[in-house]
Amino acid sequence: MERSSKEAIQELVNSEATICVSISLPTSANPDQNQQNIIELKNLLRNAEEQLSLLNLRPHETQEILAPAHHLLQDITFWRQCTQGVALFLAKEFFRSYAVTPPEKSVVVSTHFVITPLLASYAEETYFHLVTLSRQQARLFQGTTETLQEIKLEGVAGGIEQALQYDDPERQLESHQIGAQGKTVPPVIFHGHGAGKEGEVRKKNLQRYLQIVDSKVMNTIADGTTPLVLAGTTATTAAYRSVTKHSSILTPSIEGNIDDLQTAELHKQSWNIVSSALQGKQKAENERYEQLAGTGQTLDDLLLIKNAAEEGRVELIWVANPSSWNAHTPSEKVLSPEDQDLLDTTLLHSWKTGAEIRVTDAKKVPGTKAIAAILRY
C-alpha cells in the first residue's frame, strides 16, 4: 500500500470531483484484529452511505462511488498492510488508499478531500535525497528515517566517461586527446588540478559532467526543495554545489571514497546530516515565532488562522498531532472533535497557498495552544 507523499496530497487537492468521500480509520498490526478492522470499515461505509443519501444521489451512484472500499472488506492482503491506520479517498471513477499513522476515525462527504491524515503521516515520514559522485558512477537515492532506496539515473551510471561520451560533439572533442600513435586517450580525472591547457580541459569536463548529473537528478526528482545530501570528494561536492539547480542541499557532505560504502552506511551518515539540519530548522522556526509574538504577525486561534489561510496570508503553521496527545498533555494543546472540520479547511487552504505545514508533537507547537501560525503579512 502506498504511503503519504507530496504528490499524493497534491493529487487530492487538485481533484475536480464535486462529491468527495474521505474515510480514515486507525488499525491494528495484530492479524487477530483484522476482523475488527473490517467491522469498523463496514460501519464507516454505512455512515458514508447515509451522508451521500442526503445529497439525493441514486442508489447505484452511491454504490459506484463506494464500491472500491467495499471490495477491501474481502481483501485479506490489504488488511495485513494496515499496521497503524488507513485513509481512503473516493469519488466518481476515483479511488486512493494510503497507509497512515494512527488517524482519528472519521467519514467526511464534502466538495473536497480531507487531507489531514496524509499531512500527519507526511510530516512524520521525512523524505530526503542522496547523490553520490565518483569517477566510476553517479547514483541517486531516496531516503526516509528507516530506508534508503536507489533511483536509477539514465546515462550517468557509468561515470564521467559515459556521460561525456553521449554529450554534444564539441564536448566530446574536449573530453578526449589524441595520443602520439593516433589513439584516443580519455584524460578524465577527478583528482588534482593538472597544469595549463590539460588542467583546464579536466576542469571543464568535470563541470560539464556534474551539470549533466544535476540535470538528470532534477528531471528525476521533479522537486528542488526536498533536502539533498551529497557524497564524494571535497572538490567534487564543492563543484556540484556550484552548478546545481537544487535549492536545498545540506551541509556537510559525506566525504571520502564513497564507492566503498555500503547502502546501510550511506543511510546512516546521510540521515545524521538530515536529522541535524531538521532539528536546527525547527529550533529556528520556533524562535522566530517567539520573536514575532505580539507584533500581529502570529496567531494561535483556529478560526483566525482559518480566515488567514483562506486569504493566503499563512506562511507557516503548526498543528498538534492527535497521536501525540496523552493524559499529561495540557488541555490547551488539544483540539476538540468539534474543531476538526475547521482544522481540515485550514490545512487545505494552507497547502493550496504554499504555506509550510508542521503536524507535530503537541510539545513542539510554539506558544500555549494546539495550533500556531506565522503570517506573511
CATH for 196: 3.30.420
Q: Are residues 55 and 107 in the same domain?
A: yes
Q: Are residues 310 and 244 in the same domain?
A: no
Per cent of the chain over pLDDT 70 is: 92
Q: Are residues 298 and 273 in the same domain?
A: no
Write out the residue range of the structural domain in which residue 303 sits.
Answer: 293-375
| 38 within some domain | yes
Residues 111 and 88 in one domain: yes
Residue 370 has pLDDT above 70, yes or no: yes
Better-scored residue on pLDDT, 307 or 192? 307
**CA 201, CA 136: separation in Å to the nearest integer?**
19
Q: Give the pLDDT band (50/70/90) at residue 192.
A: very low
pLDDT band, residue 196 (cuts 50/70/90) = low
189 lies in a domain?
A: yes
Q: What is the dihedral sign for C-alpha 111, 361, 83, 14?
A: positive
Residue 92 lies in a domain: yes
Q: For residue 166, what pLDDT is reported?
A: 65
Rounded distance, CA 230 to CA 286, Å?
A: 28
The cell for 155 is: 546515462
Quote the longest CA-to-CA distance of the chain: 86
Residue 285 counted as domain residue: no
* 207 has a pLDDT exceeding 70: yes
Q: Is the pLDDT of residue 193 over 60?
A: no
pLDDT digits (tens, 9 = 90+) for 281-309: 999 999 999 999 999 999 999 999 999 99
Regarding whether 143 and 271 lie in a shared domain, the answer is: yes
Amino acid (1-letter code) at residue 365: V
Distance (Å, rounded) from C-alpha 68 to C-alpha 79? Answer: 14
Single-letter amino acid code for the residue at 316 = L
Whether 375 shows a pLDDT value over 90: the answer reads yes
**Overall domain count for the chain:** 3
Distance CA 372, CA 366 (A): 7
Q: Mean of the pLDDT values across residues 73-90? A: 92
Claim to verify: residue 134 and residue 73 sit in the same structural domain:
no
Mark whether 101 and 226 lie in a shared domain. no
Task: Please give the average per-residue pLDDT across 321-345, as a whole number.
Answer: 84
* Domain assignment of residue 286, yes or no: no
Cβ neighbours of residue 247 under 8 Å, at least 6 residues apart?
Answer: 224, 225
Q: Taking 60 as the threshold, does the pLDDT of residue 161 lie above it?
A: yes
Q: 100, 124, 148: which is the final residue of a domain?
A: 124
Element (H, E) at 26: strand 20-26
Average pLDDT, the chain: 88
CATH at residue 356: 3.30.1330.30
Write down which residue in 98, 124, 150 finishes a domain.
124
In this structure, the answer to whether residues 318 and 276 fall within a common structural domain is: no
Give the pLDDT of residue 329: 83
**Average pLDDT of 252-270?**
93
Domain-located, residue 287: no
Other Cβ atoms less than 10 A from the Cβ of 22: the count is 24
d(C-alpha 298, C-alpha 369), whole Å = 12
* Distance in angstroms (rounded) separating the CA atoms of residues 182 and 250: 45
On whether both 9 and 133 belong to a single domain, the answer is no
pLDDT of residue 326: 74
Give pLDDT, residue 185: 42
**CA distance linking residue 346 with residue 366, whole number of Å:** 18
| Residues 6+ away with beta carbon under 8 Å from 73 | 38, 41, 42
* 299 domain-assigned: yes
Is there a single domain that holds both residue 137 and residue 110?
A: no
Question: CATH no. for residue 110?
Answer: 3.30.960.10
Same domain as 213, residue 89: no
Chosen domain end from 246, 280, 314 = 280
How does residue 182 score in pLDDT terms, banded at 50, 70 and 90?
very low
Q: Are residues 62 and 24 in the same domain?
A: yes
Query: How confident is the model at residue 305, as a pLDDT?
Result: 98
